[in-house]
Each structure stands twice: as structure tokens, then as C-alpha cells.
Structure 1
Amino acid sequence: MSRTRIVKGKITEVVEKDYNIFSESNIIYNAAEMVTEKGETKGVSYGISAVMTSDETVLFIENNINVYELNLKDGKKTLLENLAVPQNMELAYIRKDEKNSKLIAYYFGSEQNSTKSGICYLDKGQYISLPDGYYINTYDDFFYTLIDDKPYSSYAWSDDRGKTWKTKKIEEFFIVPTPTGYADKGYVYKLAALFKGSQEEKGARLVIGHPVIK
């Protein structure tokens, strides 16, 4: 079933509490001029804060630590667990692990200019604190990320769920700070500027980072 609503004017909605939108497909906003979003106290957070766990249920987190399941058929909301998350951490989004599809909640420091981060596995409520500035991707027990050290970057990875970390400085490229994408076990796709080599070799490149690739 689909529905189209055409309004020749303005629509204003005032909501006293939360306003949640869930979609099994895409949510698309189009504007002829500008799209504006504003968070008065804590800004705007982008990412997945809820996930479909079946055709009829959505899992989401309220108040930073309360994990709920919402039945879309009957509207029933069930509290599943309360997560043990440090008070100075704030929920950013929920993501599935690329290998085992476990649900992981990502948390960032709530204080201004904080570089703290951590993740929490929703199946067991296990919270893992990460080194400052580490915004990771997961592949089962393998964690990895790129660290912007300026002017160079470093590839950081852990094969024991963040208990120990290894780093490798990247000195052949200037890396664009925002990752282009992650894939499989440890691959990072980035835009980079090559400044070593011959004149023909220099310039912008799409590079693939991985700790075992020379």
C-alpha cells in the first residue's frame, strides 16, 4: 500500500516527546532550496539508531541505555535490557557486525570536543572502551580504523576485540580524513594524494588499506 499527500502550503508538526520514523527501505528528503536540521542541546546525529530485527519488529535504544523491541503489528513496546554504559558516553548509532551480524551500539563522548568512543554488544551487554580517537569498524573479533595524525595517517587494528592494538604509519599518501568505506576483514577504501614516486605517479588515487598488504 502506498500513499501520496499533496499540500499547497506549509505543514508544521509540534511533538511533545520523541518523534520516530522507521522504514524497511530508504527514507529520502528532497527540497528545492535547503534542508535544515537543528539539535538545540546536543546537535544532529547521523546514523542508524534503530534496526529491523524481523518483518514485524524494530530494536532501538532510548535514554542512551534502555534497549527496546517494538512490535509494528500490535504496537507493543518491550524492554529487553539496560546497558552498562559510562555516563559520559552518548549513543551515536547501531550497526551490524560485517561478519556475524551481531548488533553493536556505538557510543561517543558527550562532552564538547571529546574524542572518547566505545561499543556495546547488544546480545550480551558487553561494553568495550576504545582508545581516544578510534572510530572503528568490526569484523567479528577484528577491529580496525584509520587515525588522522596530521600530516600523515596511521592504520590501527586489533585481532582480539580491542585488548591489544597495532598501528602502521602511512607515509606514502596524504589521506582524506573521512573514510570512503569499509569491507571484509580489515579493508579500508580511501581517497588519497600520492606525493612520492615519479611525476606521472603523483596525484589523487583511490587506495585500499590493509595491514598485511605491502
Structure 2
Amino acid sequence: MKYFSLTFLLLAVFFSVESCQNKKTNRSWELIDFNKIPGETLLNNFFDALSKYRFNQILVLNKDQVILLGDNSGDSDEDYSAKEKEAVVFVSADGGKTLKKHVLGKGTLREAVSAGHIVVLVNENKGSSQLIKALPSFDKWEVTQEFKNEEINNINFYSTTIGVASFYRETSDQEAKSEIRYTLDGGKTWKNMGLYVSDGFGAYVFASANEIEYIEANQLIRFNFITGERTVSSQKIAPEGYVCEGSYFRDPVSRETYTYLEKASNKELSLKNLKTQEVTPLPKGSDHLEIFGDYYYTMVQKGAYYNYVWTADKGKTWHTEELRDFFVTSDPIGYYGKGYTYALVTLFNAKTEAEKGGRFAIRKPSQ
């Protein structure tokens, strides 16, 4: 991942004219320079320290504790890149202003989730996986289980002991086999749910300590992974003229659940509240939305740039902050609470070369 490569340099020349004409300054964003992190150095006169890393997720535990996770293969085709991937996390206890690096062995950290007072991470290396448990500070961490020739994704925990994840492996005849499993002992042992979802299994929420809810074939399903009982909680999620694309998530404030609907006529997305049945059109270009009570927000790509888009009245009035001083890396982007947003960006609209390059960008709500 080159956060400031020759390609971006050429783009910067092309887009700098437009950026200079846009008088708005992105004062709401804090920009963290990896070159100033203790132990991180400028690679040469062109590549900055951030170029060494490829991050897969930005996990935000709260407004103070922020974790970037991935590996050190950012420029894997360059001579200075690591010969073997190292699983890397950068941890902050002050909202991202200062970051401390930890190496958790070989591999790449694919994803992580909060589980009570600990963090559970998935480390992947050559088709096999490890589960790692760590304190949020990462002063203490340990490998709790290893899975040879299996990859893990979509992991989530209800508590420090109860969790659900998807496991994937290739059989001897090179066919893909996937299982949805649950654990009751913090990830040491996993049992197959025996659950087969025709439209895939990606979005679910815990309904209780032993139940999950998900959307399948335009129905809301509740599944007890202990007893195997499967019940239909709601039918015809998508009204006429819409298609339910399967996402399912919960507002942390109201605890109400939502899904996205795609309009059949023009493919535009809307948000549906499954309790109130209210359908709210999303801003054009949106493919994701964060919800915190009445406050909805997201990052929307527009050409080579991104906009920060938000509403404080559940979609009745939308506002846009145009981001024209930097390019935003599309993935990963992290969100938390009422408007906290985290992204990796490349600055190009700066007076000196030292002010250009890769940054960790943080948007905090107005005080």
C-alpha cells in the first residue's frame, strides 16, 4: 500500500488546481504523521513510514482507545519490504494522537473485535489462522488457539466467552468448505452450528447469549445455536419495489435494528428501521451508514475524493463536508459513536514536501 507513490504524485499535480480553488479547509480533521512516531523513520526522500504497512481494520473501542491492525507488507514489491509478513498493531490510548507499535508474530492481522475487557484478533498466515487475545493496551497478549489450513472471518463476541465466527478451508479436491461455528469458552473450542444460509452469512447480531438474528430470503430469522431452533421473526423485510441486500445491524443508542434496501428501479440505497418500518433514502453514492441515535454519518467517495456526510435528524436534512486537501484510502475506515471517523489519507495540497505524504486522519465531533 503506497500512501504517497508516484501515481499519487501525478494525481496531486492534476488535482491541486481544483483543490486550491476550493477555499474550505478541513479543520475538523487531526492528521497524525507516522514519521514522528518513536521508532518509525522516513524510508527515503519519497516514501514515508506509513508506506511500510498494510492495515486491514481500524478498531475503535472508545473515543480514547484506537487500534490499527494489519502487517508490514505495505510496499511488498519494494526492496525494503519485509521478506516475511509480521502481524502488526498500532495502539493509541489518547484518541489516536500518539501510537505505539506491537508485533504479534508472523502473519497478517485480518480483523479484531472487542470482547468485554479484552480484544480478540484473527491472525492469518499461509492459509492457517490463529486467535489472539490481548489487553487493549497490548502489554499482554497470547495465542489462544490455532487452526491449520483454515481461515476465519466475520468474528463477533457476545461476551468474553460466547462468540460466533465463519470458518473457511479448501478440501483435498480444492473445493471450498465453510462452517459457521460458536464458542462458549472464549475461543478455545468451536462447534459447528449446522446453520446453512442460502444467501451467504455476513451480517448478524446477537439477540441473546445463545441466539443470533440475521436476514435471509427477505425474512428476519432468529436462530438458537445451542438448541438448533430456527424461527421467522418477520417476513417481507423489503416492501414492493425494493430488494433487501441482507445487511443487519443495531443502533447502540436505541438498540433498534436496521437493514439496507436497494430500489429495484435505480439501485439506490435506503435505510429501513425494522421496528418503526420507516424507510430513509441514503445520500447518493452511499454504500454504508453509521448510526448513533438521531445522528447518521458516513464517508462517500466522489471521484478521486471523499466527502464526510451526516444528518442529525435521522435523514431529514443531510450535510456534506468536502475533503479536498487529501486523498482517502477506501479501506479501512473506522467509525465510533457520534461522528468519530478514522482513515488513512495522503496529503498533496501542502507547501513543502515534508508536509505531504501519508497520514492517519481523525475526525472528532465539534465540541
**TM-score, structure 1 as length reference:** 0.70
Q: Which of 271, 275, 280 is 1:123 aligned to?
A: 275
Residue 55 of structure 1 and its aligned partner are, at CA, apart by: 2.1
1:60-99 equivalences in 2 (<5 Å): 60-64=214-218, 66-82=219-235, 83-99=237-253
Residue 168 of structure 1 and its aligned partner are, at CA, apart by: 1.2
Partner of 1:53: 207
Partner of 1:41: none
Which structure carries more helix by proportion? 2
Distance 1:141 1:80, change over 3 A: same
Q: Which of 127, 145, 165 is 1:26 aligned to?
A: 165
Task: Give yes or no for the alignment of 1:201 onto 2:358.
Answer: no
**C-alpha distance in 1 between matches for 2:276 and 2:353:** 53
Residue 209 of structure 1 and its aligned partner are, at CA, apart by: 2.8
Distance 1:62 1:121, change over 3 A: same
Residue 172 of structure 1 and its aligned partner are, at CA, apart by: 0.9
Shifted more, 77-86 versus 189-198: the winner is 77-86
Partner of 2:337: 184
Residue 167 of structure 1 and its aligned partner are, at CA, apart by: 0.5
1:78-157 equivalences in 2 (<5 Å): 78-82=231-235, 83-108=237-262, 116-134=268-286, 135-157=288-310
Distance 1:24 1:86, change over 3 A: farther
Amino acid at match of 2:353: Q
Distance 1:144 1:86, change over 3 A: farther
Partner of 2:11: none
User: Is this contact kept in 2: 1:194–1:202, CA < 8 A?
Assistant: yes
Residue 211 of structure 1 and its aligned partner are, at CA, apart by: 6.2
| 1:206 counterpart SS class | strand
User: Is this contact kept in 1: 2:216–2:246, CA < 8 A?
Assistant: no
Partner of 1:14: none
Residue 75 of structure 1 and its aligned partner are, at CA, apart by: 3.7
**C-alpha distance in 1 between matches for 2:261 and 2:326:** 30
Residue ranges of structure 1 left out of the alignment (5+ in a row): 1-5, 7-21, 38-43
**TM-score, structure 2 as length reference:** 0.43
Distance 1:128 1:35, change over 3 A: farther
User: Is this contact kept in 2: 1:96–1:103, CA < 8 A?
Assistant: yes
**C-alpha distance in 2 between matches for 1:146 and 1:52:** 27
**C-alpha distance in 1 between matches for 2:323 and 2:308:** 7
**C-alpha distance in 2 between matches for 1:89 and 1:210:** 34
Residue 203 of structure 1 and its aligned partner are, at CA, apart by: 0.1
Residue 47 of structure 1 and its aligned partner are, at CA, apart by: 3.3
**C-alpha distance in 2 between matches for 1:191 and 1:163:** 30
Could you list the per-position Cα deviations for residues 61-118 of structure 1 after superposition, in whole angstroms to 9, with x for gaps in the alignment?
2322x2232334444433322335343323232112233333222334568xx65112
Distance 1:35 1:206, change over 3 A: farther
User: Is this contact kept in 1: 2:343–2:360, CA < 8 A?
Assistant: yes
| 2:214 counterpart SS class | strand
Q: Using the aligned pairs only, state the percent identity.
A: 26
Residue ranges of structure 2 left out of the alignment (5+ in a row): 1-147, 149-155, 157-161, 178-198
What is the alpha-carbon root mean square deviation over aligned residues? 3.4
User: Is this contact kept in 1: 2:211–2:223, CA < 8 A?
Assistant: yes
| 1:93 counterpart SS class | coil
